[in-house]
Structure 1
Amino acid sequence: MNILIVTQNIALGGAQRVAVQLSDYLNKNGHRAWIFTPHIDLAGVSGVARQQNYIECPYPILKKVGHEYKMRGNIFSLALNILRLRRYLKKTIKQYQIDLISAHNPPANWIASFLDVPVVWSCNEPVSLCFSKRKPDYFPLSVEPPTIASRFLQALYEVVDYSLCHWGIDRIVVLSRYTQKGVRNIYNRTADICRVGAEFSQIQGGDGHSIRRRFQCEQAFLLLQVGHFKPEKNQAVSVKALCLLKDRIPDIRLMFVGEGATRNDVMQLAEEVGVRDRIIFAGRIGDDQLRDYYDACDLVIFPSVRQSWGLIVFEALAAGKLSVASSDCGASEVLLDKQIGFVSEPTPEALATKVLDIWNGKSSGLFDGMVERGQNYMSEELTYEVYGRRMTRLFAKILAERSANRS
């Protein structure tokens, strides 16, 4: 099969890592895969990402601000570049004799809809311009209060988005029941669930002692949160939970890995609640360094909201560390179903209570076997090898069905 993976960008991040790993699996298993994208930034990414075949398009839809990508221009310039990208994509399909398109992060689903080849959309989150009262399952790109103009654009967006994704996409794939429900409510379609996890070889074997020495926290009970500083990542909840725990757990510390728009706000909050001296802002690190940070911590926390999955939770498990995940993310389904981690409401009080319970139960052996059980489950169900195999089977099935319908 000749597969074209379409995504908004390739850079440091979990969603981008999934696209890269799928490409790698396809190319190593007798197929040909290319990644079609208008933005390629390989700084800090794994070696696997550097080995893929890229088709870089000349019509950018994002701009880099610091370490983050934001929409370039306004909604009208975005629409114009989507049309340009569609034309470029049609030429690419013919030139490379593409059999099927695997669309990933929006607006890849719009760019690839209604084409002559089958399209499978890997939907991390159905996104919208702002919060929608009519369809609250959307993930809003803006948290600003809607204006009259933005409400009008949102209504128009919903009509176009429904039309393209209901009729113009052959199959939708999601990571969790959480997102499957959202797809059903927004698009009136049933999505397939195909989950991803982590590659053990890329996560295990970290040098946590070097990280603890560098940040002078050798004896601390160390919490770790990995991710961009964005409102939905909820770092503020972690800071407030730390404030509730500072007098109950001796030498508790919190480490943030990542950069982003709300970093300064989080630092200011830490000063205001009196825990700045207990927080380590480690900054942005490359994929190849993550294993050291996972190895250094005692517990990973993931208090994010409106998240379709939570790859961090499973990377931590591959590294031998348990996590507390938000109940408002897809990863919590697996943690609860398989009893391989912890779940709390994404509030400071709930998170602090759960962390304290774990700290109190650690010495009693109450949680012995959870990591081993989790790693066994992951090796069977949540590796990129398993993900690639399942997606390949789905691609082959779709192509076989289309061939049968034509004959």
Structure 2
Amino acid sequence: MKIAMLTNNYRPFVGGVPISVERQAQELVKLGHQVTVFAPMYESDEKEQNERLQKEIQAEDERSPERVIRYHSQKKKMDNGMVYPGIYPAEIFDVFERERFDYIHVHHPMFVGPWALWLGRKYGIPVIYTYHTRYEDYLHYIPCFRTREESTVVKRKAVEWIQKKVIPAYMRWFCNRCDLVLAPSEGMQQMIKGYGVNTPVAVFPTGLDESFFRKNARRAQEIRETCSRGKRHLLVTVSRLEKEKNYGFLLRGIAELERKMGDDFHVLIIGDGSQKAELKVRASILGIRDKVTFAGNIPNDQVKDYLNAADLFLFASKSETQGIVLAEALAAGTPVVAVHAVGSDDIIRNGENGFLTAEREDEWAEKVIETLQEENLERMKSAAFISAGNYRSSRLAIYEEMLYNQCGFRKGDRLYETEEGRRERSAMALR
């Protein structure tokens, strides 16, 4: 198969969608398919720095098994570092005029999204869309939709109307013009159907390559000795430092944990973002600045070593569609304590590979303490590693291949499999 993947962001930008696109593309290449990823350009304002950046991006693209074609993006960027794709991506159209693709897999409903629908109609190609993001939780990245304490009641009501009415209506329109929608979790599948989407919706989570299941014990021990600050327990979390990740709750939970447990633990926060400075101030106000290390971004291929080094993974985000980092933590044999939310609820089995709690600091802290008890920790570590087996990229690629074929041969059919059916077919395919 020749597959065109269209995305609004890709490496070197660090985020869940670029990681998902890259892993899917590379696993499909391993199965013998030709995958072309159409991704935006990234530029720096400073000339010499930009030259280095372009060389690094080009070198990485040339080393990768998937073909990457860059299209122009706007100079203006969002607060989190994402670029605004160009209004008219001529580079994409030029390739489609020269080549024939069997499927278009688009990963965003805006910018490249409508163009993917247009290309699908023009060339008679099925369009698959992965619903990666709950866009109603990300409006604050667009300045005109950002509300503050001093914002007028009219503006607040307008933004609320857009979140609850306009975005669901647009997503329903977009999804119903695709031939297949992929939901990263069962919770998201139900949410999408609740929007009134009639297009077939199949559950397809982002997978993990085999490296996440291999442990470098020596490196993990080095990290533990360095990052635990001499404390008995090392706890870790990984995500962008942005509003939607609910770090305010996480820091309050850590303060509550210290009150209940004492100071025999240290928390490593991996990731960067626009809220970093504010979160450091919040940690100081809460009196936990010495309990938390803000480590910044870590190369993605090294994150697993930090997860292996930790006793427990902490999570508070309520805006995830799946939460790739949760699967990564489980593959490292690291139990998770998270807040109940779509995505988290689908991967965490309460009391087995972690705990799910209400958004209450005392309950969350109590579950962290319960997990760290010696009689629970080893049992839950083992269960975490076993449960991560369902997210191996090699298995999921076989399922994705099957979904593409279903989309091509049974276009318009509504008989797409459930999560249970996916696991059964994936297991059969590997026998």
Task: Give your verdict on TM over 0.5.
Answer: yes
CA positional deviation for 1:159:
5.2
Q: What is the aligned counterpart of 1:269 among 282, 303, 307?
A: 282
Whole-angstrom CA distance in 2 between matches of 1:130 and 1:255? 25
Going from structure 1 to structure 2, the CA distance change for 1:251 and 1:370 (only over 3 Å counts) comes to closer
Q: What is the aligned counterpart of 2:70 among 37, 47, 56?
A: 56
What is the match of residue 418 of structure 2? none
What is the match of residue 410 of structure 2? 401
Q: What is the aligned counterpart of 1:124 among 115, 119, 132?
A: 132
Contact 2:348 2:356 in 1 (8 A): yes
Contact 1:64 1:70 in 2 (8 A): yes
CA positional deviation for 1:284:
1.0
Contact 2:9 2:17 in 1 (8 A): no
Contact 2:235 2:310 in 1 (8 A): yes
Whole-angstrom CA distance in 1 between matches of 2:376 and 2:232? 21
Q: What is the aligned counterpart of 2:380 among 351, 366, 370?
A: 370
Structure 1 letter corresponding to 2:104: I
CA positional deviation for 1:228:
0.4
Going from structure 1 to structure 2, the CA distance change for 1:247 and 1:165 (only over 3 Å counts) comes to closer
What is the match of residue 392 of structure 1? 401
Alignment of 1:139-154 (within 5 A): 144=147, 146=155
CA positional deviation for 1:96:
2.5
1:198 is paired with a residue whose SS is coil
Contact 1:128 1:141 in 2 (8 A): no
CA positional deviation for 1:123:
0.6
What is the match of residue 244 of structure 2? 232
CA positional deviation for 1:233:
1.0
Whole-angstrom CA distance in 1 between matches of 2:286 and 2:354? 29
Going from structure 1 to structure 2, the CA distance change for 1:337 and 1:353 (only over 3 Å counts) comes to closer
What is the match of residue 106 of structure 2? 103
Structure 2 letter corresponding to 1:105: H
CA positional deviation for 1:18:
1.3
Q: What is the aligned counterpart of 1:243 among 255, 261, 270?
A: 255
Q: What is the aligned counterpart of 1:163 among 161, 173, 176?
A: 173
CA positional deviation for 1:307:
1.2
Going from structure 1 to structure 2, the CA distance change for 1:142 and 1:353 (only over 3 Å counts) comes to farther
Contact 1:230 1:261 in 2 (8 A): yes
Whole-angstrom CA distance in 1 between matches of 2:61 and 2:220? 21
Structure 1 letter corresponding to 2:3: I
Going from structure 1 to structure 2, the CA distance change for 1:266 and 1:390 (only over 3 Å counts) comes to same
Going from structure 1 to structure 2, the CA distance change for 1:268 and 1:208 (only over 3 Å counts) comes to same
1:69 aligns with 2:61: no
1:223 aligns with 2:235: yes
Whole-angstrom CA distance in 2 between matches of 1:180 and 1:106? 16
Whole-angstrom CA distance in 1 between matches of 2:408 and 2:385? 34
CA positional deviation for 1:186:
2.3
CA positional deviation for 1:277:
1.0
Contact 1:24 1:48 in 2 (8 A): no
1:37 is paired with a residue whose SS is strand
1:15 aligns with 2:27: no
What is the match of residue 211 of structure 2? 201
Going from structure 1 to structure 2, the CA distance change for 1:47 and 1:35 (only over 3 Å counts) comes to closer
Which moved further from structure 2: 87-96 or 221-230?
87-96
Whole-angstrom CA distance in 2 between matches of 1:343 and 1:151? 28
Going from structure 1 to structure 2, the CA distance change for 1:196 and 1:127 (only over 3 Å counts) comes to same
Whole-angstrom CA distance in 2 between matches of 1:233 and 1:357? 24
CA positional deviation for 1:338:
9.2
What is the match of residue 309 of structure 2? 296
Whole-angstrom CA distance in 1 between matches of 2:384 and 2:308? 16
Contact 1:109 1:165 in 2 (8 A): no
CA positional deviation for 1:122:
0.8
Q: Residues 235-279 of structure 1: CA distance to partner in whole angstroms, max 9, x if unpaired?
A: 221211111121432422111001101111111111111111111
Whole-angstrom CA distance in 1 between matches of 2:329 and 2:181? 28
What is the match of residue 4 of structure 2? 4
CA positional deviation for 1:211:
1.9
1:69 is paired with a residue whose SS is coil
Structure 2 letter corresponding to 1:300: F
2:308 is paired with a residue whose SS is helix
RMSD over aligned Cα, in angstroms? 3.3
Contact 1:20 1:48 in 2 (8 A): no
CA positional deviation for 1:216:
5.5
CA positional deviation for 1:162:
3.5
What is the match of residue 345 of structure 1? 358
Structure 1 letter corresponding to 2:4: L
Q: Residues 68-124 of structure 1: CA distance to partner in whole angstroms, max 9, x if unpaired?
A: 32454xxxxx7xx44x13x65344233221110111134243331242311110111
Contact 1:220 1:251 in 2 (8 A): yes
1:295 is paired with a residue whose SS is helix
Contact 1:304 1:346 in 2 (8 A): no
Contact 2:27 2:394 in 1 (8 A): yes
1:357 aligns with 2:373: no
CA positional deviation for 1:403:
12
What is the match of residue 134 of structure 1? none
TM-score, normalised via structure 2 length: 0.78
Structure 2 letter corresponding to 1:237: F
Identity of aligned residues (%): 20
Q: Residues 17-48 of structure 1: CA distance to partner in whole angstroms, max 9, x if unpaired?
A: 111111111212121111011136877x9999
TM-score, normalised via structure 1 length: 0.82
